[in-house]
Structure 1
C-alpha cells in the first residue's frame, strides 16, 4: 500500500475488484485522487472510494448508470483491444475424452459457480426435445463446485425421466489448442445464463462455433450478447429461457442453418479484434480526469 502512495499517482485503475480479498481492501482506501474500476469482475463495487467504472457500449443496457455507484464510462464497441489467439487447434479424438462422437455436442464451458440452480432445468429440457445429444461441462482444479453442479443436474434429469449419464459428461480443463479443437467440433456453444462468459465466447467466435446466449439485465449477463451484437448475430441472443432452449434445438436440428451461422461468424469476426477505438477513448478519458 505504501508503495502505491509513494508513487503519487494521478489515476489508479483496478481491473478486477472482488476477484481476491486484497483488491477489495486496497480499493476501499483512497490511494489516488481518481480511482477507477473495470470489468475484470463485471459488477459495481459499491465503494465510495471508486469514482468511475469503465465498461463498454455494446455490453450495457439502456439506463445502465442506475446499476452503478460509480460514474459509468462506456468505451466504444466492446471496450477493449483484443488479440486473437491465433494458435492451431488440435484435432481431438472425442472418444478418448469420453465424448460420443455420434451425438450432437453442446459445449458448456463456464466455471461451475456460474451455473445458477434455477436454470438447471434448461439442459434437461433441451435433452428432452432433442433426444440423442451430449452436454460437455468442465472440472476445474477445485472440484467441489463441479461435483455440486453434477449432483444438481443428475436430480433434474431424473425428474425428466432421462438417464443423466447418456446426456452429460464432465471432463478436465483442456489446454488452449485442445480447447480450440473441441470448439471446432462443438455443434453449439451454450453461454452461461445470468453470468456470461467473455474470453470463452471470443474463443468460440474465433473457431466459428455458434453461440447461444440469454441476455441479462446487468453487465455480467451481457458479455456474449455484446459480442454477437458486434458481429450482427442478434438472432442468437435469447430473450427468455424458452428462447434459449429453442435456439439450441434449432441449431442442432437444422444443419444448414448452423452452417450459415458459422459462415457469418467467420466473415464478420474480424471487427472484434485489435480495435483501436476503445484505446483512443481510454486515452481521452485518462487525460481528462488526470487534469
Structure 2
C-alpha cells in the first residue's frame, strides 16, 4: 500500500469510529450559553497523565503560567495512581487560584455534567485515543469550544472536538492527513517542555574517552520498526567501530532481548556492538544514561517527543527525518524550534548520511554537546510563559468566533 493511501485509510477509520461513537452520546449532548458578558472565561484541562508520565512534561507549563487573574482554570484529573508530581501540580494550580477536580472512576456523562456546572467555556483534552481517555465526556459537548492537544498524533474522529493545537512543522499546510478538527498552528512548536530538575549536569561526549562513537535510542520499542533497524544498520556500517545503545522497558525480559538482537543480526548487526538497557526507575539515573551516547537516533514514522527533548537537554544531538504525518514530524518541530536544522533528513538515505557526518567530527560533537542545553533553555521550546500566553490567546480567539456564530 502506498503511504498516502494508508494515511487516507487511517483518517477514514477515525472518522467512521467518531460517527458510530457519537450515537452513544447524542441524547446527552447539550450546551448552555454564557449570558453573562462580565463573567471571566473558564478554561478546563482534562487528562489522566498528571503524574510522572512523558506527557506531563508538556502539560506543566500551562498549569503554571496561565494568568489566573484574567480567567479561571479548572483541571479535571483522571490519574489512576497519583504520585509526587500529581501533588506538586495540584498544589501549584490551587495556589494560583485554580480548581482541581478528581474524576477518576466517574462516569463520563457525569463528568460532562460537572463541566457544565463549572461553566467551562474552553475545554482542552490532552489524551486523544490513549489509555483512560475521556472522549465520551467530550462527545457530550459540555463546552462551547472543545480542543485536543498534546496526547495523540492523529484526529480524534469526534465531530464535537473543534480544534487541534499543532504547528506548521508537525502539520505542514500541505499535509495529506485528514482531521475532523480544524488545525490551529502555533507560531513556534505546539509543545512546551518543562525541564527535569533531577537531570543533573551535561557530561562530556563519551567518544572523547571511548575512542569510538555511540549511537542511541531511548524510544518506545513499538516505534523501532524493521525499517528503522535497517537504517540504523546502515549507519553503524558507515561508522567503523561505532556502537548502539537502546533502552526501553521490555528489555527487562530476556526473551524480548534475544528477539531484538536476533532481528539486528539478520540485518548484519554484530550483537557485540549493541547494548540493551531496561527501564531505569529514578529520573536522575534515566537522564544521566544519555551520557552513554554521543548521538541519538530518532524513530520513524512515529518520532520521539519526550525522548527528543531529554536528549537535547542532556547535550546529545538527535538525527530526525521529516515525514508525511504529524507523528513523523514532531521531532523535526522540536529540533527546529531549538534552532537545529542540520540533523533533519528528508529521506532514509539522507538520515544515514547525516548520522555518519555527525559522527565523523568528534570535536564538533563535543562543542555541540556543551552548548545544546543552553540553546534549548533559551529557545521558545522552554519558554513556558510566552507559550502559555500564546496558547490562551489562540483559544480565546476561537471562543470569540464561536460566540459570534452561535
Q: Residues 58 and 121 from structure 1, CA distance in 2 versus in 1: closer, same or farther, beyond 3 angstroms?
A: closer
Measure, in 1, the Cα distance between the counterparts of 2:353 and 2:211: 22
Q: CA deviation at 1:84?
A: 1.8
Of 387, 392, 395 in structure 2, the residue corresponding to residue 278 of structure 1 is 387
Give the CA deviation at 1:90. Answer: 7.5
Displacement after TM superposition at 1:31 (Å) = 3.1
Instruction: Verify the 8 A CA contact 2:315 2:372 in the aligned structure 1.
Output: yes
**Alpha-carbon contact 1:65-1:71 (below 8 Å) kept:** no
- Is the contact between residue 107 and residue 137 of structure 1 (CA under 8 Å) also seen in structure 2? yes
**Which residue, out of 150, 159, 163, partners 1:52?**
163
Q: 1:3 aligns with which of 89, 111, 134?
A: 111
**Higher deviation after alignment, 201-210 or 1-10:** 1-10
Distance 1:87 1:163 in 2: 35
CA distance in 2, matches of 1:143, 1:28: 39
Q: Is the 8 A contact 2:112 2:138 kept in 1?
A: no
Report if aligned partners of 1:58, 1:76 keep a CA contact under 8 Å in 2: no
**SS at the partner of 1:59?**
coil
User: Is the contact between residue 58 and residue 230 of structure 1 (CA under 8 Å) also seen in structure 2?
Assistant: no
Matched, 1:158 2:248: no
In the other structure, the counterpart of 2:277 is 171
Query: Are the structure 2 counterparts of residues 158 and 65 from structure 1 closer, same or farther at C-alpha, using a change threshold of 3 Å?
Result: closer
Work out whether residues 120 and 153 of structure 1, in 8 Å CA contact, stay in contact via their aligned partners in 2: no
Q: 1:28 to 1:148 in 2, by over 3 A?
A: farther
Q: How does 1:12-27 map to 2 (within 5 A)?
A: 12-20=123-131, 22-27=133-138
Residue 136 of structure 1 is matched in structure 2 by 245
CA distance in structure 2 between the partners assigned to 1:149 and 1:29 by the alignment:
45
Task: Give the alignment partner of residue 144 of structure 2, picking from 29, 33, 42.
Answer: 33
State the secondary structure of the residue aligned to 1:31.
Answer: coil
In structure 2, the residue matched to 1:95 is none
5+ residue gaps in structure 1?
93-99
Q: Tell whether the 8 Å contact from 1:16 to 1:41 is kept in structure 2 after alignment.
A: yes
Indicate conservation of the 8 Å contact 1:80/1:279, yes or no: no
Larger deviation: 167-176 or 239-248?
167-176
TM-aligned CA distance change 1:239 to 1:4, over 3 Å? same
For the residue of structure 1 that corresponds to 2:134, the secondary structure is helix
SS in 1 for 2:299: coil
> What is the count of residue pairs matched by the alignment?
281
Are 2:250 and 2:256, in contact at CA under 8 Å, matched by a contact in 1?
no
**Unaligned stretches of 5+ residues in structure 2:** 1-107, 204-208
Q: How do residues 63-78 of structure 1 correspond to structure 2 at under 5 angstroms?
A: 63-64=174-175, 67-78=178-189
Aligned residue for 1:284, secondary structure, equals helix
Residues 214 and 292 in structure 2, CA contact (< 8 A), matched pair in contact too? yes
Bigger-Rg structure (1/2):
2
Q: Which residue of 1 aligns with 2:331?
A: 224
- With structure 2 as the length reference, what TM-score do the two structures score? 0.62
What residue is the counterpart of 1:237 in the other structure? 344
Q: Deviations over 1:246-283 (max 9, x none)?
A: 22122222212323433552452211312433322222
Aligned to 1:97: none
Match of 2:227 among 118, 140, 144: 118
Q: TM-score, normalised by structure 1?
A: 0.84
Instruction: Using CA pairs under 8 Å that are at least 6 residues apart, name the structure with larger relative contact order, 1 or 2.
Output: 1
Cα drift, residue 89 of structure 1: 2.6
CA drift of 1:188 comes to 0.3
